Structure 1
Amino acid sequence: MGLVKIRDGMALATVLIFVGTACGPGVAPGDGSVPVQGGTLKVIGSGDVDHLDPSSSYTTVAYTLNRTWTRQLVTYPASNDFNKAITIVPDVAEALPQISADGRTYTFKIRDGVRWNTTPARQVTAADFVRGLKRLANPVQPSGGISYYTGTIEGMQEFFTAFQKAPKTAAGIAQFMAHNQIKGVRAVDPKTLEIRLTTKASDFLNIMALPFASPAPVEYEKYVPDGPEFRQNTISLGPYQITTYQAGRAILLNRSPAWKQDADPVRRQYVERIQIMLGQESADVVQQQLEAGTADLSWDQPVPTSAIQRMNGDPEFHVFEGSSLNPFLVFNLQSPNNNRALANVKVRQAINFAINKVAIAQIYGGPMLNTVLDGAIPQGSSGFDIDVKPYTTPGHVGDPGKCRTMLAEAGVSGLTFQFPYRTTGNHPKVAQAIAADLTKCGIATTLIATSPDDFYGRYLSSVAKSREGKWDIGGPSWLPDWYGNNGRSIVVPLFYGANYAEGSTNYGAYNNPAVNATIAKALTAASASAAEASWKQVNAMIMADAPIVPLISQNVPTFRSSRVQNALYSPLSQQFDYTQLWLG
């Protein structure tokens, strides 16, 4: 998927263009401040990671944690320059890979001195990366990002399919991996990894930079992936190691003695330890502790909307612009309700004119914290086109009169939509605002309150419920897994119709063969620039079909205690990089 439900809808990592410079006192490394060694970075928040195992972890808090103790062949540097922060650089690999003339074979050389914190410390090898890629397909907890790898690496789909039949025990998993290979992946020697793709993929290095593609030491074969035993026996490659993990309560990391600065070009090891305390459900209380200096960073709680106005101008407060569909309105094209009205493109186009997007933005804190959207691809992601705005209205406040006229021209009246919504956060207010806009167009709604899990599992992602008409419209959210050449992370999961199935994030079952073909062209483009041109075509084609109403992209307010120095922002995790910080 791209960021599926787990990353969707939370105040998560979608950052694009930085508003302002992102530099307050002591923030930029070139500001003359001197790094300070030692101390405890205190992080507080609410919920645990979804998965501690990097093969399956898929939330931004997990990504933030992964940065401290896992490493990948390639990664992104920490930088407050957005363009630099989304540029792939070598990590465990000595350099960016050699790519064959046909664009399908990637050869990585492993950097000397990158060591597991085993006793004694041990050099990471190409075989560890092979094992890591195999574990993505395990039958107990397969990676939520598995489609990125099955869709690009030769033989990965066949390996995944076969692995699902293996025993769901540590021994069964280890035995399957020992006797089965991914056709396109091989350790040429301890320092050389070769990966063969099914076809060209200009975004393959972005995929390999995801935490999913972390190597796995042989010791992990003793545990069920992400099981309780695994969570107590993690092995680190990064500057920090997890020394205490208490589910839902606390995570403590200390410096790893196996890590060496000269073997890691992108991380540092300034603070002595990182203390993460969980269970704090109130964003206001978290904010109070940050301002008081009794905590340094929020783990997962956003800056409260009520605090935004008074925080503006504070050197420890900053807003980073987002690149997301968060939220958007999706139509169930399969619904039999209203004589299958939503299968009619003219009805969907009419509704696109109806919604007051500024009102939705206001619910989430106004224009400082939100950007109104016109296209299916948000600004800052590959394929964004400022000229794709077929349904824009003056001031983005909607035009119910035009909506009514278009519905009449389509010969449609008396519509009533089943409208499930999540009861958490701002979702009830969003649902009420959209329902009010539809009422002005003569469309009635039946609002259905749901939990977040039911919203997806019993409604939007359920093939049977969708086809039965249990829902007509819904307001999900979507955030990409990476930035730059990221059409695969936005367009494919939301709009590629050929793969529609149970659990799909193409919630409305949108399927246009011409769009699918253009998506395929973008995915196999020889370069990011060539892919960009195809993604722009896709953007325009999708909006002509109007399977969604794009609403807003949420920006990301951040706040840190005055102790935190060298605060470098990570677009991938929507948090400051813990490995760069020191305490003043």
Structure 2
Amino acid sequence: MRMACLLAALSAALLSSAATAQTSEPARGGVIDVATIGEPPTLDPMASTADLVGIVSQHMFETLYTFGSDWAVVPLLAADLPEISADGRTYTVRLREGITFHDGSAMDSADVLASLKRWQTVASRGQQAATHIASVEAVDPLTVRITLKEPFAPLLSLLAFNNSAAVVLPEENVAVPLEKPVGTGPYSLKERKPDQYIQLVRFPGYKPREDAANGYGGARHQYLDEIRFVPVPDPNTRVEGAVAGQFAYADSIPVESVGRLQGGKTEAVTLKPFGWPVFVMNTKQGLLSDVAKRRAVLTALNPEDMLIAGFGSADFYAVDGALYPDGYNWHNEEGVSAYGKGDPEAAAAALQEAGYDGSTPLRILTSRQYEFHYKMAEVAAEYLRQAGLEVKLDVVDWATLTQRRQDPAAWDIFISHSPFLPEPSLIGVMQDTSPGWWVSEAKTKALNAFNTEADPAKRAALFGEVQRVFYDEVPAFKVGDFNAVAAKSPALQGVTPAPWPYFWNAYLAK
């Protein structure tokens, strides 16, 4: 799969890291503070789709597979890629030997079996996979067999993803809610002080892979002694803390602050293209359970005005309705003609025809911890008011938003964003159980055809029908494409630009 500029950036960074490793091994030691957009709602990586949870928890927990620098699935706790039967229904997974959990116990197939059963119950992505899984069994202490009801091409990507993740836990520690955050990762939890920090320390029993670092895969070296994730909800405070040298890394920096990051104690890190802001619509309950009203919202919104408000300069965004930009294998133009109308008058007529009463509020749930979410919400609200809708903005902290969006009675639209994911079936709205709860016969038919096809070229063509149904039924509004900016200390080396930043293989230059 071609991943355009993002892959070029990742590959260049990895080549640079490899060259550095050949000349000298980075020094071990040091502590870094990483400023995040807030307090994660949980440290259970199965229980949340919030990126913040994945950013922190991926240092403690590991999955059977992960993604390499070209977004291909690569083994992590699995010894290698699975053996797949000729009919595409049986996956035989060999496990690495000598893997130890943070509590000192050894990982085996019983742990994997218990974890995958928990994942299918607790995690929204596990629930998505569960509908296709006939059985999971432990063949021997180092072998697990997954049998599918029918071929399901996204399975390995679902097992690899760090969001609603299929992490491996000790068999004795699979209670819900999670009692102890014990994983196999390079860092373990030492202390968590809510709203102050999450302190991770090097796990001495960690066994890295022997292959070279490769995106999220390959060797994960523990150069740093300690990583502290510090919640800093205010974006300007994150910027000023980075400028002052308070943070070695600050995530999600407003683009208008890039000028403040030049030189001195910090520098800008840009990931281009990063992903897309998204207005997820509540198809299950309330005003937007009516597809005609969702189509009216789509007609009303002007994506360029929203992107200008959110990012200021065209250097940081692109007006694009395709779910994947040009240069990605999944790019197509099916259904995109419905995008970008910005026509409140036409939307008003559509709302009247759909029977809107003129007084029922449209509740938009957003947060200022991602400032561009809030700025886009303000612009969207004005366009929707021009279309005759009564709009209410509910502005909450990010942790509250991730909890409140689980309640279909609490909102009509919530604002989020997503990186461009390597497998389209990982997109939140593609899951029936994801907040928004988009379920339809047309969606099921299009996704089933797409997901049961193994040939990549045929799958790319079939994704056109998925995107056409997306625009016909409007479960969400893709605002456009955007680039992400973070701040990094020049002393912090070995950090590869990535959608979910990670700090194994990172080190402090002497």
Q: Which residue of 2 aligns with 1:308?
A: 258
| Number of matched pairs | 490
Q: Which residue of 2 aligns with 1:556?
A: 484
Q: Which residue of 2 aligns with 1:71?
A: 62
- Whichever residue aligns with residue 16 of structure 2, its letter is A
SS in 2 for 1:145: helix
- Whichever residue aligns with residue 564 of structure 1, its letter is L
Q: Write the deviation string for residues 230-274 of structure 1: whole angstroms up to 9, x where unpaired.
A: 24xx2x422222233334433322222212345576233342422
The 2-side partners of 1:224 and 1:329 are apart by: 28
Q: 1:379 to 1:197 in 2, by over 3 A?
A: farther
For residues 322-341 of structure 1, the aligned pairs below 5 Å read 322=273, 324-328=275-279, 330=281
Structure 2 counterpart of 1:245, from 185, 192, 204: 192
SS in 1 for 2:337: coil
The 2-side partners of 1:208 and 1:224 are apart by: 20
CA contact (8 A) 1:375 1:389 kept: yes
Tell me the C-alpha RMSD between the 2 structures: 3.9
Structure 2 counterpart of 1:484, from 415, 422, 427: 422
SS in 2 for 1:50: coil
Cα offset, 1:282, TM superposition: 2.9
Alignment of 1:133 with 2:71, yes or no, is: no
Q: Write the deviation string for residues 263-322 of structure 1: whole angstroms up to 9, x where unpaired.
A: 576233342422315353332232223233332012xx5213441244479993132235
The 2-side partners of 1:281 and 1:549 are apart by: 25
Alignment of 1:198 with 2:149, yes or no, is: yes
SS in 2 for 1:320: strand
Q: Which residue of 2 aligns with 1:52?
A: 43
Cα offset, 1:568, TM superposition: 0.9
Q: Write the deviation string for residues 528-569 of structure 1: whole angstroms up to 9, x where unpaired.
A: 433322221121233245565432344311211111111113
Alignment of 1:318 with 2:273, yes or no, is: no
Which one has a bigger Cα radius of gyration?
1
Q: 1:245 to 1:332 in 2, by over 3 A?
A: closer
Q: Which residue of 1 aligns with 2:215?
A: none
Alignment of 1:273 with 2:216, yes or no, is: no
Q: Write the deviation string for residues 188-211 of structure 1: whole angstroms up to 9, x where unpaired.
A: 111111111121111111111134
Q: Which residue of 2 aligns with 1:287?
A: 239
Q: 1:382 to 1:514 in 2, by over 3 A?
A: farther
SS in 2 for 1:284: helix
Q: Which residue of 2 aligns with 1:579?
A: 504
- Whichever residue aligns with residue 143 of structure 1, its letter is A
Q: Which residue of 2 aligns with 1:363?
A: 309
The 1-side partners of 2:301 and 2:274 are apart by: 20
The 2-side partners of 1:20 and 1:308 are apart by: 22
Cα offset, 1:17, TM superposition: 4.6
CA contact (8 A) 1:112 1:263 kept: no
Alignment of 1:568 with 2:504, yes or no, is: no
Q: 1:251 to 1:386 in 2, by over 3 A?
A: same
The 2-side partners of 1:45 and 1:411 are apart by: 42
SS in 1 for 2:321: coil
Cα offset, 1:580, TM superposition: 1.5
For residues 203-222 of structure 1, the aligned pairs below 5 Å read 203-211=154-162, 212-220=165-173
SS in 2 for 1:41: strand
Structure 2 counterpart of 1:436, from 343, 357, 382: 382
Q: 1:477 to 1:384 in 2, by over 3 A?
A: farther
CA contact (8 A) 2:384 2:391 kept: no
The 2-side partners of 1:461 and 1:348 are apart by: 19
Cα offset, 1:439, TM superposition: 5.3
- Whichever residue aligns with residue 430 of structure 1, its letter is M
Q: 1:116 to 1:373 in 2, by over 3 A?
A: same
Structure 2 counterpart of 1:445, from 374, 384, 389: 389
Q: Which residue of 2 aligns with 1:185?
A: 136
Q: Write the deviation string for residues 407-445 of structure 1: whole angstroms up to 9, x where unpaired.
A: 5997999966632123632555434423433455xx322
Q: Write the deviation string for residues 207-238 of structure 1: whole angstroms up to 9, x where unpaired.
A: 111343222224426x65423xx24xx2x422
The 2-side partners of 1:190 and 1:284 are apart by: 51
Q: 1:536 to 1:196 in 2, by over 3 A?
A: same
Q: Which residue of 1 aligns with 2:367?
A: 424
Q: 1:564 to 1:137 in 2, by over 3 A?
A: same
Unaligned runs of at least 5 residues, structure 2: 213-217
Cα offset, 1:355, TM superposition: 2.6
Q: Which residue of 2 aligns with 1:149?
A: 129
Alignment of 1:474 with 2:425, yes or no, is: no
SS in 2 for 1:569: coil
CA contact (8 A) 1:18 1:320 kept: yes
Cα offset, 1:103, TM superposition: 0.4
For residues 499-538 of structure 1, the aligned pairs below 5 Å read 505-506=435-436, 511=440, 513-538=441-466
Cα offset, 1:187, TM superposition: 1.2
For residues 383-398 of structure 1, the aligned pairs below 5 Å read 383-386=330-333, 388-391=335-338, 398=342
CA contact (8 A) 1:203 1:528 kept: no
- Whichever residue aligns with residue 217 of structure 1, its letter is P
CA contact (8 A) 1:51 1:58 kept: no
CA contact (8 A) 2:367 2:401 kept: no
Cα offset, 1:514, TM superposition: 3.3
SS in 1 for 2:332: coil
For residues 111-122 of structure 1, the aligned pairs below 5 Å read 111-119=96-104, 122=105
